[in-house]
Amino acid sequence: MPYRAPLQDFGFLLDHIVAFDQVRQTERFAEATRETTTAILAEAARLCEDVLAPLQRQGDLQPARLENGVVRTSPGYAGGFHAIAQGGWLGIAADPAYGGMGLPQTLAVVLNDMMSSACLSLELCPLMSQGQIEALEHHADDQMKALYLPKLISGEWTGTMNLTEPQAGSDVGALRTKAEPQADGSFRITGQKIYISWGDHDMAENICHLVLARLPDAPQGTKGISLFMVPKYLPDADGGIGAQNSLRVVSLEHKMGLHGSPTAVMEYDNATGWMVGAPNKGMAAMFTMMNNARVGVGVQGIGAAEGAFQHALAYARDRKQGRTPVNATGTIIEHADVRRMLAMMKAEIFAVRAIALANSVAIDMARATGSDEWAARAALLTPITKAQGTDAGIEVASTGIQVHGGMGFIEETGAAQYLRDVRVTAIYEGTNGIQAMDLVGRKMMDGGEAAFRLLQEVEDFAESARGPLPDLAEDVWQAAETLRETTEWLITQDMTERAAGAVPYLRAFARVLGAHYHLQAAIKGTSARQALARIFITRLLPEHAGLLVQVRAGAAGLYALSDDELAV
């Protein structure tokens, strides 16, 4: 079915829920007026609806393939990528000094949401470039910026990040890739990396790999990792394409989904690279790209959920089956349970989209003002955006199959592709368990100050809503207060106890935030938004209570069964 960008939802969220006007009022982003924003998002919607969405099935049915050492992309993908590049979308938030638009990250998030709905496999390529652009802006020297940023922003070149090795997955500090310094200031990079999204393709003239490697005298662990730029083709003196570097694609992974997105095993054999940032500080530089990607991957989940929802809604409005008391048209959307599934899908999408946009507004405000409070808000929301956005994508896509009934299990309907494609998002850029442990660990090193500040805002708004919507306001206030009490308990526990309850804690936090944004929508929006808020607050928010019970259950029970007993 055709994809339609939910521009009305984006506009409502930006104008009434996540306070995007704060971003517009800063000197840095003063040009992002409401008129400019509306025009930009309308143009992005046309790109996604008319150019990218038709490629969704094409990539799944005719995957990328490796031929004679070169990756050939799915039919139509090159044209789709060129449309993205020619529209300037790769540089929507990039520095204008190098050809970017310089617009807020929030608008990049909306763009990526739409592209993920339209064609998730292809969207992953520009997402990688966007992350590399940000990493270079923050950590590269002026010479490297001048050489690489204009090419990445224009789409002439694309970017990747190379972290994972066969023995070093989440434990990045165990990597073995070596970097040998050369007399001319370059380095020889040797090692193998796996799971490299868009590690090679035929859509751009050069592919720029950011590679984590270890210097000969480097300390062990993450403190001894440096970051290197290792291009497929070595740039010549004028920045053009020179000789091919000593690297190759060993193979492409055979994946559950994302078939149009080539995931490569990369081998570097004394390849020439240049250091990005300081020696042994590679993780700090790479984390700039990873944090960008974590928000981006959360948004991929949200976009996939939107695509799956639209697909299921269209089927439900067309499929005739059974009888209902309503029975106006005889289609399955009249069945109460089908209506329940669709309503909860839509309510979930609104909630996680609001969290992601609030996250991006905090990122923009931190950049524009230098505020530590905004930076802390952005840091707190990033693991929630990544984990809840991707979990919601998986759950909504799975429900979409259920709406289709038996036809959902049949590949020809396209319903299953959304689930197969989105499933990996809960795994890459740090599994959702790692995101949860980050939330209860590093993000609580302030004694929970950023979390308590956000929860106070939730409670204050709920108090203000008691007049017009007393029942919904009370439910949200009580949920926030219970989450506050659990947070107070959590920060007194050691890390083993925190880790045991990390995932349910993150999900409970997301439920409370989702209810908060829905309550705002109910107050500021139409009767339809109030009805959707009631769906979320009465049917999804109550999950938080059971989740918080799990948080307090502690670690002891998880270790009560031995490894052998688990196997019995």
Task: Supply the residues annotated as catalytic.
Answer: 429
- 3-state SS assignment for residue 241: strand
Structural contact between residues 439 and 551, judged by C-beta atoms closer than 8 angstroms: no
CB neighbour class for 468 (10 Å; exposed up to 12, middle 13-18, buried from 19): exposed
Element (H, E) at 339: helix 336-369
Beta bridge partners of 157: 206
Alpha carbons 36 and 333: distance in angstroms, whole number: 38
Terminal-residue alpha carbon distance, the chain: 47
CB-based contact 303:115 (threshold 8 Å): yes
Tokens 């935030």 correspond to: 513
What contacts 322, CB < 8 A, 6 or more positions away?
332, 335
What is the 3-class SS of 450-517, one letter each residue? HHHHHHHHHHHHHHHCCCCCHHHHHHHHHHHHHHHHHHHHHCCCCHHHHHHCHHHHHHHHHHHHHHHH
Distance CA 537, CA 539 (A): 6
Sign, Cα dihedral of 388, 499, 131, 31: positive
Q: Which residues contact 346 (CB under 8 A, 6 or more apart)?
A: 309, 532, 535
CA distance 563 to 568: 9
Task: Give residue 313's identity as a one-letter amino acid code.
Answer: L
Phi, psi of 275 (to 5 degrees): -70, 140
Backbone conformation region of residue 430, classed left if phi is above 0, alpha if psi is from -120 to 50, else beta: left
DSSP per position, 182-195: -TTS-EEEEEEEEE
H or E, element range at 263 = strand 263-276
CA distance 545 to 486: 10
